[in-house]
């Protein structure tokens, strides 16, 4: 059963991050926050925000200079504390097959403004400090109604091109980024016949199996995705593309979800600075 159109999708919200001190140096923790709210027939956009001490060692950018890395000079790149993505007027259900293979091309908004199947945005996280850092990605579920998170799909693409045809990919308990950059996150199945199992990644029909989703965290409060990345050198950056969609082939989807809402946040924070 297909899910149909989720209508009237509302505005977004921000969250706060903290600044902490290490033993010998101040280790500023800066949050980059993406907030997504499904509510009615209007798809709310993303807010990406750095909140805290802006002269610490990470910053955001959607500068068009990143479209041509061969001539890129980071000293000339514009950075910012906040990025805002336009909303979609409505949101239709989708599957992995709706995500185009060039979704990571370019910078900024990549929302599907023709068929309203997915929300997507590319941005750059830059180490603007003088030390190598380790940082953590946290994606949190702030609010949901009518169990819409049961059929939410999240893809976080880091420094790579999406492969729309990946198959037979089964994730282990290790970081999924160690296995593949084509990670699709989802809540474990709540369907009676498959309860507690990872959801499949389907390409648009029931027998088009591409692999398994990587399960949301279920025992650490509101955080549903947490990954750590090490050794981001000073003057270096990672490009991220965030893609979200409502999976129309998920067995948990029902017509009762019409008009449901889900709100999420994405945080990047510095874990430690390395003096080597």
- pLDDT (0 to 100) of residue 45: 52
Measure Cα distances from 267 to 9, 47, 101 in Å.
22, 11, 26
Please say whether the dihedral angle defined by the alpha carbons of residues 259, 34, 72 and 227, taken in this order, is positive or negative. Answer: negative
Q: Is residue 167 part of a domain?
A: no
- Whether 130 maps to a domain, the answer reads yes
Phi-psi region of 222 (alpha: psi -120 to 50; beta: other; left: phi over 0): alpha
pTM: 0.81
Q: What is the pLDDT of residue 43?
A: 39
Report pLDDT for 49. 61
Residue 34 maps to a domain: yes
Domain that holds residue 18: 5-159+219-274
Counted domains in the chain: 1
How do residues 74-91 score in pLDDT, each as one tens digit? 989 999 877 776 666 677
Distance (Å, rounded) from C-alpha 207 to C-alpha 143?
32
Query: For residues 5 and 117, is the Cβ–Cβ distance under 8 A?
Result: no
Which of 43-57, 157-171, 237-251 shows the lowest per-residue confidence on average (mean pLDDT)? 43-57
pLDDT score, position 166: 77
Tell me the three state secondary structure of residue 36.
strand
Residue 167 CA to residue 188 CA, distance in Å, equals 19
Measured at the CA of 98, the angle between CA 225 and CA 195, to 5 degrees, comes to 45
Residue at 110 is within a domain: yes
Instruction: With cut-offs at 50, 70 and 90, classify the pLDDT of residue 126.
Output: very high
- For residue 53, being part of any structural domain is answered with yes
Q: Compute CA 95 distance to the chain's CA centroid, rounded to the nearest angstrom.
A: 16
Please check the confidence at residue 63 and state whether its pLDDT lies above 90: yes
d(CA 213, CA 237): 27
CA distances from 272 to 51, 90, 159 (A): 18, 41, 22
Q: Is residue 187 assigned to a domain?
A: no
Whether residue 54 is predicted with pLDDT greater than 60 in this model: the reply is no
Distance of CA 120 to the CA centre of its chain: 9
254 pLDDT exceeds 80?
A: yes
pLDDT at position 195: 93
60 three-state secondary structure: strand
Tens digits of residue pLDDT in 218-244: 766 789 999 999 999 989 999 999 999
* DSSP run (H or E) holding 87: none
Beta bridge pairs of residue 235: none
Is the CB of residue 110 less than 8 Å from the CB of residue 86? no
Within-domain flag for 214:
no
Q: Are 40 and 7 in contact (CB under 8 A)?
A: yes
Residue 65 maps to a domain: yes
- CA 200 – CA 212 distance, rounded (Å): 4
């Amino acid at each position: 059963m297909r899910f149909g159109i989720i209508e009237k999708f509302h505005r977004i919200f921000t969250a706060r991050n903290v600044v902490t001190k290490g033993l010998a140096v101040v280790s500023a923790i800066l949050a980059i926050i993406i907030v997504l709210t499904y509510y009615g027939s209007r798809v709310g956009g993303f807010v990406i925000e750095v909140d805290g001490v802006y002269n610490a060692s990470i910053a955001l950018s959607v500068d068009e200079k990143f479209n041509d890395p061969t001539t890129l000079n980071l000293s000339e790149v514009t950075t910012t504390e906040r990025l805002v993505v336009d909303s979609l007027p409505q949101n239709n259900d989708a599957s992995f097959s709706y995500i185009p293979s060039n979704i990571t091309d370019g910078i900024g908004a990549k929302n599907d403004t023709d068929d309203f199947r997915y929300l997507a945005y590319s941005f750059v996280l830059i180490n603007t400090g003088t030390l190598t850092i380790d940082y953590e990605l946290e994606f949190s579920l702030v609010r949901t109604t009518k169990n819409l998170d049961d059929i939410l799909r999240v893809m976080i693409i880091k420094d790579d091109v999406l492969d729309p045809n990946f198959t037979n990919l089964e994730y282990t308990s290790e970081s999924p980024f160690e296995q593949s950059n084509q990670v699709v996150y989802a809540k474990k199945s709540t369907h009676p016949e498959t309860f507690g199992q990872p959801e499949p990644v389907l390409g648009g029909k029931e027998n088009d199996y591409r692999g398994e989703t990587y399960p949301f965290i279920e025992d650490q409060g509101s955080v549903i995705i947490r990954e750590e990345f090490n050794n981001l050198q000073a003057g270096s950056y990672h490009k991220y593309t965030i893609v979200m969609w409502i999976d129309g082939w998920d067995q948990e989807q029902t017509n009762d979800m019409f008009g449901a809402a889900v709100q999420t946040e994405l945080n990047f924070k510095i874990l430690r600075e390395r003096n080597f």
